[in-house]
Amino acid sequence: MLRYEHKFFVPIYQLDKLRHYLLPFMEPDPFAVSHGGAYTVRSIYFDTPAMQCYFDKVAGIKRRNKVRLRGYNCDGETGTVFFEIKKKVDDPLFKNRFALPYREAKKVLSGAPLEHCLGPGKADGKSADNVRRFMYHVYARQMHPVVTVIYDREPFQPILDDGDNRLRITLDKHLRVAAYPSLDQLYEERDVRAVRPNFFIMEIKFNQYFPSWMKPVIQAFGLRKGPASKYAMSIETLGLGQARQYL
């Protein structure tokens, strides 16, 4: 299914006010509520030796992808992580995703046969093909871990059921990054650097239509839809790329 994302930079001092504007229409995600209202997102991003994913992003290439291993909070070895390929074709987004325990994911990334890590009969399903797609990119494009991108996310869902639109609004704050992680360092935060600490990123995600009630909110805050790639900004913060536009 097609997915759309609209992103906005918002000054951090407006966080409470914006949250107040959302609450008549949206409610906190139950998973976030169970973790105090927010949870931590951790992603190890892979890129080629020539940093193709990064430079495709800053050049505004219409068809591009990101390859990442994603986990949440501080779950550690027994926590669930996700092999993800996020593909963009013009404006719509597609995501291939597969979940594994962290310890098994590291075995797959180290070259262990998928059948040994998933267990008997589980390597033949359609979902497991997403791991194979992930590993194809890693091997065929000689990809390696470049950065760990970490942030705290407040997610909101509609109070009223919106059917297939599946609206979701997230407020992503305290963005930080660490360079050249090993596969063992997804849950570590040593030598991290803050990325644009005076701002947070609001993402509005939907399948079919942008919520009409959100338009006056955006106008009230003077916001403009624009590029807000956490990966690209993290690369720039660390001085690992030359371009300075987050298309």
Domain that residue 91 falls in: 4-237
Residue range 149-196, pLDDT digits in tens:
999 999 999 999 999 999 999 999 999 999 999 999 999 999 999 999
In this structure, what token pair is assigned to residue 161? 């059921």
**70 pLDDT more than 60:** yes
Determine, yes or no, domain membership for 218: yes
Against a cut of 0.75, is the pTM above it?
yes
Write down the pLDDT at residue 2: 78
Determine, yes or no, domain membership for 231: yes
In this structure, the number of other CB atoms found within 10 A of the CB of residue 195 comes to 20
CATH number for the domain spanning 124: value is: 3.20.100.30
Determine, yes or no, domain membership for 115: yes
Residue range 81-130, pLDDT digits in tens:
999 999 988 878 999 999 999 999 999 999 988 877 776 666 667 778 88
Please tell me the distance from the alpha carbon of residue 114 to that of residue 22, in angstroms, as a whole number: 43
- Beta-carbon contacts of 115 under 8 Å, excluding residues fewer than 6 positions away, are 123
Determine, yes or no, domain membership for 193: yes
Write down the pLDDT at residue 141: 96
pLDDT higher at 118 or 68: 68
Share of the chain above pLDDT 70, in %: 94
Determine, yes or no, domain membership for 74: yes
Write down the pLDDT at residue 140: 96
Determine, yes or no, domain membership for 47: yes
Which of the four pLDDT bands, split at 50, 70 and 90, describes residue 241? confident
Determine, yes or no, domain membership for 60: yes
Please tell me the distance from the alpha carbon of residue 22 to that of residue 187, in angstroms, as a whole number: 31
Write down the pLDDT at residue 92: 86
Determine, yes or no, domain membership for 245: no
Contact of 231 with 64, CB cutoff 8 Å: no
Write down the pLDDT at residue 245: 44
**8 pLDDT more than 50:** yes
In the chain, how many domains are there? Answer: 1
For 83-88, which contacts have Cβ atoms below 8 Å and span 24 or more sequence positions? 83/108, 83/130, 83/131, 83/134, 84/43, 84/134, 85/130, 85/133, 85/134, 85/137, 87/63, 88/62, 88/63, 88/64
Range of weakest confidence among 24-28, 45-49, 76-80, 212-216? 76-80
Write down the pLDDT at residue 118: 76
